[in-house]
Structure 1
């Protein structure tokens, strides 16, 4: 029962869409109405407001980290083990993808997934972040960087910790992230994907 409660709490934390909240606070258009229509930091950046995009990125990453940190710190006294941590990781990620507070219209999960990975282990998150940065810098496509980083994340986890329930959670997040980027994959193949920093039309 405690494991289920922690997972539900994680889902609710994940359901806070910082792209929508921050955009409203800055008086910007709803990110679900322009660009890729994805409520995430990359699309908020298309508004031209870098501060709003940065806050969105930090907020979405922080909620992923927070859910895992809370489960790791306070979970053991309630019987939360690795399976519980894995469910919390998936819960907060699913909350971001399909947020109950925003009619289940959420982002693609890149920042939140990174926050989860940093919460699980700093080295795991850092390795994945470096992968994203290298690809993003080289090709200027946020989606391509996210796709490649998501493929490497389970590999990094396996190298660091081997096979356990949390690895399955990382694999599930990677699969969902790739699924959420299916239109980006099509755009990349067609040469129509927007580059980082491009303005909304």
Structure 2
């Protein structure tokens, strides 16, 4: 299901563009350069997200990347919601996620979008977001695989939204979940082969 579309189409389009440009800011690369960690795209998995920053051994840089990547999704959603309403908020969340995964600033080669996904969920609905974060944490504690934990949280998020009475979010969360699975195609293959890198391993 989708929320009632009450915002004019032009404003929704402008919201999507602004949210995309915000989401496209590569905070992982910014933090890596500020902390002198080198080009993140040539380290570990080559991903620009917090998990790969953590593989450099710099926990502060990884934490800041996590907060900023989640924050850009949350800010996009909260700003759109305050300005126009729930319909614009969901579009902003999806657009910010797309910006992170396919950033115009980096030739459309971005990250996996997990932190931005969770930040978006928390801003759309705090209970749904907290439940999804809980799923990630439990899976990560049990398996030590960040990618698997992200897949579990993404797959369960539409179900959680429906269970908690947010059926209007289910379509947007389903789209985001499919995109996360698409972005994790290589991770899924490595998991299948038992070659995926665990959390904390450089």
Task: Sort the TM-score into its range (normalised by shorter chain).
Answer: over 0.9
Gapped regions of structure 2 (runs ≥ 5): 1-9
Say whether 1:142 aligns with 2:151. no
Hey, what's the Cα distance between the residues in 2 that align with 1:190 and 1:34? 22
Residue in 2 that maps onto 1:79: none
Match of 1:93 among 87, 92, 97: 97
Match of 1:119 among 116, 120, 123: 123
1:108–1:177 CA contact under 8 A, matched in 2: yes
Match of 2:199 among 163, 177, 196: 196
Partner deviation per Cα, 1:78-137 (whole Å, 9 max, x = no partner): xxxx43222111100000000112221110010000000000011111000000000000
2:55–2:201 CA contact under 8 A, matched in 1: yes
TM superposition outliers: structure 1 runs of 4+ over 3 Å: none
Say whether 1:128 aligns with 2:132. yes
Residue in 2 that maps onto 1:102: 106
SS at match of 1:178: helix
Gapped regions of structure 1 (runs ≥ 5): 77-81
Residues 178-193 of structure 1 mapped to structure 2, 5 A cutoff: 178-193=181-196
> How far is the alpha carbon of 1:162 from its aligned partner?
4.3
Hey, what's the Cα distance between the residues in 1 that align with 2:183 and 2:197? 16
Query: Over aligned residue pairs, what C-alpha RMSD do you find?
Result: 1.0
Hey, what's the Cα distance between the residues in 2 that align with 1:85 and 1:159? 20
Residues 1-201 of structure 1 mapped to structure 2, 5 A cutoff: 1-76=10-85, 82-164=86-168, 166-199=169-202
Aligned residues: 193
> How far is the alpha carbon of 1:163 from its aligned partner?
2.9
> How far is the alpha carbon of 1:161 from its aligned partner?
2.7
SS at match of 1:95: helix
TM-score in terms of structure 1 length = 0.93
